Amino acid sequence: MELILSALNSAKFMESLWNGPIGIKIIILMGLFFLLNSLKITIFNMHITGSRGRGAAVHKFTFTLAFIVLAYTLPGFNSPVPFIVFYIAQCAYLYVNLSYYNFYHYFLHLAQSWALLFESLDVVLHFAVPKNPNLLLIFIDLPIFIYIAGGFIQNTAYLSQLHAFKGMGIAACLLIILAVETIKFLRGSSIVQLIKRYPDSEEQVVEKYGTLVNILVDMAVFKTEKDRIGRFTYGKKVLANKESRGKLNIVAIQVESMDANAVNARHNGSYVMPFLHSLIGKSVYYPYVLGYHKAGGTSDAEFSIINSLEPLSNFPSIKLASYDFHNSVAKTFTENSYHTAVFHGNWASYYNRDTAFARMGFEDFFDMERMGMKDVGWGAPDHQVFEYAAAKMKEERTPFFYYIITMSSHCLFTNVLNYYRNHQYNDIKDRTVRDYYNSLSYVDQSIRDFVEKIRSVDGETCIAIWGDHAPGIKSRLYNQASLDMEKRHLEFVPFFMITPDHRVHREREKAASFLDIAPTLLEAAGIPYEYRTDGESLLSPSGLKEPIPYRGDCYDRKGLYAKAAELFPPFQE
C-alpha cells in the first residue's frame, strides 16, 4: 500500500510540475529533445564507424550532447525559425550521409559531394537510391520536435522563458567539451594530434568528432587537387621487353552490379546466369576479385582497373581535372599500335568519362548519343551496345582494345523490365531480388550472344569479363558477396578470361583484385610494355604472392580467399 501511495504521490508531483510554470515544461521538453537528438547522432556515428562498447558509446553521447545543446542554443531563441531550420538541415544531412554509407560503407566528403552533384541527382531522378530500414533512425526525435516547434509558434512565452537559461547551458557545454578534449589530448587523440596524421587518422576523427568535423578537416588538409593526386600510391615497375606472340585483340567487359555470388545464383534449380556459370569450367576463372568501390562510385572500377591504382576515398578519382593518367593501360596499348575504344550505354559526360577517357589514352568513346541510341529506362539496353561494338570490330584493320561498360543491371534493377522479362522469376516475392535476377538473366544472354558472335568470326581475341561492384542486396533469398574485416567492408566480383588457346584455370586458393586486371590484359595481348602496378597477372596463377592493398591495409591472398569461401562457396555444381 505504501508503494502505491508513493507512486501516486510521485505521479501527482510530476503532473503538478508539468502543469506548473511554463519554464519548467519547456526545459523538460527541450531536455528530452536534446537527449533523443544526441542519441540519434551517437547511434549513427557508431554505426558508420563500427564502434562498439559502453565506453565508446558514453563518450560519444556526452560529447555529442554538449555540441547539440550549443548548436541549438547559440543561434538564439528570439524566433522558432532557427530551431526548425537547423533540425530539417540536420535530418537531411544525416539522410544523405547514411544513404551513402549504406551503399559505399565509408564517409561522405564535401568536395566529393559537390563533384558528384550531377550524378547524384541523376540517381535520385531514376529512383536508384537503395532503401534501408536504418534510415528510420533519423526520425526517432521527430514527434517531440513537432510538439516543441508547435509550442514555439503558438506561445512566444516558450521562447522568452528558454532564453533565460541560454547562458547557463552554453557555459556547461563548453566546460564539458573542454574537459573531454583535455582527456583526449593527454591520450594523444585530440583533434590537433589527429590532424597531423590525417588522412590515416580519418576513422578516428569520425569516431571521436563526427562526420561534420571530418569534412572540415578534409577540406583543410586537401586544399588543392595537387594534394589529392599526391595520395596515389604506384606499384613496382613491371617490364616485358618483347612480343611473346602475335598481337591479340582484347575485349574487356565490365558488368554493372554483378558480384561473385551472381554466377552461382539459382532459382528453382536453374542458374540465373547459365552462360557465365558455364565459363567456370571453360575459361580462366577467379571467383573472388576484390573491387574498389569508393568515392567515385562505379567509376572507381574502370579507374582502378585501367590505371592499376587504388582510387581515392575522399574524391572521385576519375574527376581529377589536372591528372594525366600516366599509368593508363590504354596508353600502353596505343603505343603498341592498338586501336583503343570505350563503349558505354550512358551519356559521355557522366562521371566526366568523356574527358577522362581521352586523357587515359583512349582514341574513341562511344556513348549513347554517339551510338545513336535512346534512353530506355536509364541508359541504352546492353544488347544494343554489344551489337554496336561487334559491328565496329568488323571495321578494324589493326589490333584493338575495347572496353565495354554495361548499364542495364544498375540498381534498383528495373531498367531491364522495359525490354526483357524472364517469367521464371515471377514467383519470387522479394521484388528487389526478382528484378535483380531478371536483370542478370538478360545480361547473361546479351553477353552470351556477343561472345559467340566474336568467337565465330575472330579467333585472335581474348575476352575478359568481370563485375564492377556488389548490388547492395542483403536478403534471405540473395546476400551479396561482401564481408567485413577489421572495420573494412570488402566486396568481391568474379573474373573470367576466354583465350584463343582455350586455357582453363579455376582458382582455388588465392583472391585477386582490380589491380591485377591491367597486367593480365597486357600479358594476354602479348605485347612489350613498361608498367607500374601492385597487381600481378592472373594468367600466371603460380605467382600471386604480393598482398592486396585496400584503404591503408594489406590482405594476404590466401587468407582473403579462405574467408570469402567460408561465407559464399566459389563452386556450386
pTM assigned to the model:
0.89
Identify which of 6, 23, 25 has the alpha carbon closest to the alpha carbon of residue 15. Answer: 25
- Model confidence at 52, pLDDT cuts 50, 70, 90, reads confident
Give the mean model confidence (pLDDT) for residues 139-162: 74
What pLDDT is attached to residue 24?
A: 72
Amino acid 183 reads I
Distance CA 351, CA 376 (A): 20
Look at residue 14 in the predicted model and tell me its pLDDT: 47
Beta strands at 461-467 and 488-498: parallel, antiparallel or unpaired: antiparallel
To the nearest whole percent, how much of the chain has pLDDT over 70?
A: 90
pLDDT at residue 354 in the model: 94
- Residues 36 and 410: their CA atoms lie apart, in Å, by 37
Which amino acid is it at 476?
R
What DSSP state is assigned to residue 311? P
| Mean pLDDT along residues 438-445 | 98
**How much is the average pLDDT of 374-397?**
95
8 Å CB contact between 425 and 478: no
Q: Are 333 and 363 in contact (CB under 8 A)?
A: no
Phi, psi of 477 (to 5 degrees): -85, -30
Q: For residue 157, name the pLDDT band (cuts at 50, 70, 90).
A: low
Is pLDDT of 237 > 70?
A: yes
Q: Which helix (H) or strand (E) holds 438?
A: helix 431-457
Q: How confident is the model at residue 572 (pLDDT cuts 50, 70, 90)?
A: low
SS3 427: coil
Set of cell numbers at residue 106: 565509408
Q: Which residues contact 31 (CB under 8 A, 6 or more apart)?
A: none
Model confidence at 373, pLDDT cuts 50, 70, 90, reads very high
Q: Which amino acid is at 171?
A: A
Query: What backbone phi and psi angles, to 5 degrees, belong to 485?
Result: -135, 125
Instruction: Give yes or no for a contact between 256 and 291, defined as CB atoms under 8 angstroms apart.
Output: no
Taking residues 2-29, report their average pLDDT: 55
| Residue in this structure with the C-alpha cell 564492377, named with its chain if needed | 468
pLDDT confidence of residue 307: 97
pLDDT of residue 23: 58
Which residue's C-alpha cell is 519554464?
Answer: 23
Q: pLDDT at residue 114 above 90?
A: no
Number of neighbouring beta carbons within 10 Å of residue 532: 15
494 closest CA partner among 468, 526, 473: 468
Look at residue 504 and tell me whether its pLDDT is greater than 80: yes
Phi, psi dihedrals of residue 239, rounded to the nearest 5°: -120, 140
Report pLDDT for 276. 98
Give the 3-state secondary structure of residue 383.
Answer: helix
The mean pLDDT of 46-67, rounded to a whole number, is 86
The pLDDT-based confidence of 512 (bands split at 50, 70, 90) is: very high
Cell numbers given for 449: 550472344
Q: pLDDT: is 557 or 7 the higher one? A: 557
pLDDT, tens digit (0-9, with 9 covering 90-100), for 329-342:
999 999 999 999 99
Q: Is the pLDDT of residue 482 over 60?
A: yes
Q: What is the mean pLDDT of residues 479-490?
A: 91
* Region 227-232 average pLDDT: 94
pLDDT at 347: 93
> What is the location of CATH 3.40.720.10 in the chain?
245-386+417-437+461-565
pLDDT at 21: 52
Q: Rounded mean pLDDT of 166-172?
A: 71
At residue 336, what is the residue type? Answer: N
User: Phi, psi (5° rounding) for residue 318?
Assistant: -70, -15
Q: According to the CATH classification, is domain 245-386+417-437+461-565 in 3.80.30.20?
A: no
Q: What is the pLDDT of residue 245?
A: 63
Instruction: Give the range among 184-188, 241-245, 430-434 with minimum mean pLDDT.
Output: 241-245
The confidence band for 289, taking pLDDT boundaries of 50, 70 and 90, is: very high
Confidence of residue 125 (pLDDT cuts 50, 70, 90): confident
pLDDT at 503: 94
pLDDT category of residue 170 using cuts at 50, 70 and 90:
confident
Torsion angle defined by CA atoms of residues 489, 553, 57 and 93, in that order, rounded to the nearest 10 degrees: -60
The cell numbers describing 231, all together, are 595520395
Mean pLDDT of the chain: 89
Question: What DSSP element (H or E) covers 513?
Answer: strand 512-513
Contact (CB, 8 A) for 102 and 134: yes
Q: Over 70: is that where the pLDDT of 268 sits?
A: yes
CB 39 within 8 A of CB 153: no
Nearest to 507 by CA among 538, 472, 548: 538
| Least confident stretch, 15-29, 47-61, 273-287, 412-426 | 15-29
How does pLDDT run across 71-104, given as a tens digit for each residue?
Answer: 877 666 566 788 888 899 999 999 999 999 988 8
**Cα 226 to Cα 205: distance, rounded to the nearest angstrom:** 23
User: pLDDT class for 1, splitting at 50, 70, 90?
Assistant: very low
**Per-residue cell: 362:** 583512349
As a whole number of angstroms, the distance between CA 529 and CA 55 comes to: 54
Amino acid sitting at position 229: I
What is the enclosing helix (H) or strand (E) of 566?
Answer: helix 557-567
Pick the more confident residue, 437 or 8.
437
